[in-house]
Amino acid sequence: MTVTQPRTGGRTAAPPRTGGRQTSAPLAPMQVQGENPAADAGAGARAVANLYGAFSIETFCSVGPLSLTHDDTAGFLQYTEQFTPRNYWYQDAGVQAWAYYEDYDNWQDTYGTDAVTTVYHCGHGGMDANGVFYVPMGSAWAGNDCTATSTNMRLGNERARYVFWSTCESLRVLGGHSPIRTWAAANQGLRMIFGFETVSWDDARYGSGFWNHWRRGESLTSAWLNSSWDIAHDQAPSVSANGATQQEAQNRLDNERFFDRARASTAWWQWRWYNTRASAVREGVHALPGDPRRAVLAPVGARSLGDLADRFRVDRAQVQQGPGLLSIGADERRLHIGDDGVLSATLAEADRENRTPLARAEATAMAEGAVRSYGLDADGTLVLDRVVPVMEAGGTDTGDGHVDEPVTTATMIQFRQLINGLPVLTPGAGAVRVTVDNSGTVTHLQAGTRAVEQLSDRPRSMAAAPVPPGTRATADDGPLDPEIALGRAFSRRLRDLVARGGAPTGYAVVPGTTEVGYEIDGSEATVVARRAMELEFEGGYRKRYWVTATLFG
């Protein structure tokens, strides 16, 4: 990575001092319990009832199956159920249209989308050219009603305040679409809606990843955007918030962290998304090197906590050790280190008033300066991976129906770790992400790199067997061809779908996703080929999948 000096003018903080011997006292963490996401958590058992409900579908009434929606939903509920039992979790054939429609969405004051404050739905989804959102059900309820639609929903006039749609195209914001267009009639008091502008992935980590980010002090908005980004970079997660005024909706979008039961006015809508369509992306590596190596990685947690605290200039007197996470510093400047070794930091409050985006080169230079200043390149070589605009818009469906033009509010710059000349490909690992606001201030960063302790030319799982006595050794075919290996891996994926009775009606390689690099598995990194495939199912519903083939490991 070419590193430039950080800018010294403006609001950019001075880099920390990293040289010299550290003489500070050792950190003394205070043990804390996990944080309850309910705003009224201290109000007693009765007050925290009717908070959570969920739906997940892998086997559908009329479209092809998915594989990981139950795991996704379990990851979301696993965190909340430390504090509050769910009202319900309907799965597969138990998911029916009644639960989404006005007459029954608070059935027996317990069941349905409007019976709880926060509802999580995971499955297929799609949107037509008119902005209508379609949700396939697990089974029919009254005749042939295998699909619920946004036009028939009325949510928020009873209990619902937060709706998570872990589905494709549930919250579109581009191409003439907006949350207002899709959800204005349905939204009768929701505070926030979470979804996607694009096709999403059949992946188990959306729900659990959301809480991993939230526990680091991120807002509900940032936790959803960042957890989705951890899974894949070609999807565009989106979040919409409502309020009586633009200021109220903006504040909710920026800062809301706890699930609040209060009904929101829908007079103003404000929404944010990662504009992957406008991203600048690194050219991928497509060939296996002539001397592939298996990498042995440094243990998770090998970094010195005291050194990190000094490097990031956080308050060493404020240290908290919670389940799976160590936090150092105050809310306005705080460092988090997870059990997985991922480091994240909140460094400054973003300048929300500046709506003039930095030039891409300037934002990149600021990010490179932060990487150098905070020593985030110490684990190995980093290469610029992509530059992503963080976009925002807002509007109203009352009066003249004014909708603001989209603006860039920040820029996210991501770097990839190289091992033996190849990038780390594992989603959520081997990357450094830096967020820079429009005034040039580095506000947040996250680093998931690991130092390499050894490179070995001896594979663990692909070594040739010894030649039996009395026989001749066969010729070595050499390293696997990436295209052949990926073709075989995708064939296995298709066979699994067919065995479940859900062969897709079509499929295609997602452009720009085929690459050779390293996949992290515990303490090792192996050389793999990887690409994303988009599958289309009956009814036009789509989903994306990673296909990975080991080349040396």
CATH architecture, range 41-274: 3-Layer(aba) Sandwich (3.40)
For residue 398, the model assigns a pLDDT of 87
pLDDT for 370-412, tens place per residue? 999 999 999 999 999 999 999 999 999 988 889 999 999 999 9
Name beta bridge partners: 446.
Answer: 344, 433
Q: Among 20, 15, 10, which Cα is nearest to 313's?
A: 15
For residue 11, the model assigns a pLDDT of 38
Q: Identify the DSSP state of 99.
A: G
User: 149 pLDDT exceeds 90?
Assistant: yes
For residue 2, the model assigns a pLDDT of 42
Cα–Cα dist 121/54, whole Å:
6
pLDDT for 314-341, tens place per residue? 998 898 888 888 999 988 899 999 988 8
Cα–Cα dist 75/68, whole Å:
11
Burial class (CB in 10 A: 0-12, 13-18, 19+), 454: exposed
- Are 184 and 268 in contact, with CB atoms under 8 Å apart? no
Amino acid at 188: Q
Rounded mean pLDDT of 448-462? 87
Q: Which residue do the tokens 């009224």 mark?
A: 40
Let me know how long the chain is: 553
For residue 20, the model assigns a pLDDT of 36
- Are 338 and 215 in contact, with CB atoms under 8 Å apart? no
- Are 138 and 146 in contact, with CB atoms under 8 Å apart? no
Cα–Cα dist 186/151, whole Å:
7
Q: What angle do CA 193, 507, 166 make, to 5 degrees?
A: 15
pLDDT for 257-302, tens place per residue? 999 999 999 999 999 999 998 888 999 999 988 889 999 999 987 7
For residue 468, the model assigns a pLDDT of 75
User: 433 pLDDT exceeds 60?
Assistant: yes
Residue 120 makes CB contacts below 8 A (sequence gap 6+) with 52, 53, 54, 55, 73, 76, 77, 164, 166, 207
Rounded mean pLDDT of 455-482? 69
Counting residues of the chain whose pLDDT is more than 90, the rounded percentage is: 75
Q: How high does pLDDT run on average in the chain? A: 90
Amino acid at 198: T
Question: Structural domain boundaries of the chain?
Answer: 41-274, 280-456, 482-552
| DSSP, residue by residue, 331-400 | TTEEEEEETT--EEEE-S---SS--SPPPHHHHHHHHHHHHHHTTTTTTS-EEEEEEEEEEEEEE-SSTT
User: 95 pLDDT exceeds 50?
Assistant: yes
DSSP H/E element including 25: none
pLDDT for 500-528, tens place per residue? 777 889 999 999 999 999 999 999 999 99
Counting residues of the chain whose pLDDT is more than 70, the rounded percentage is: 90
| SS3 state of residue 428 | coil
Q: If pLDDT is split at 50, 70 and 90, which confidence band does 90 have?
A: very high
Listed range (31-35, 161-165, 548-552) with the worst mean pLDDT: 31-35
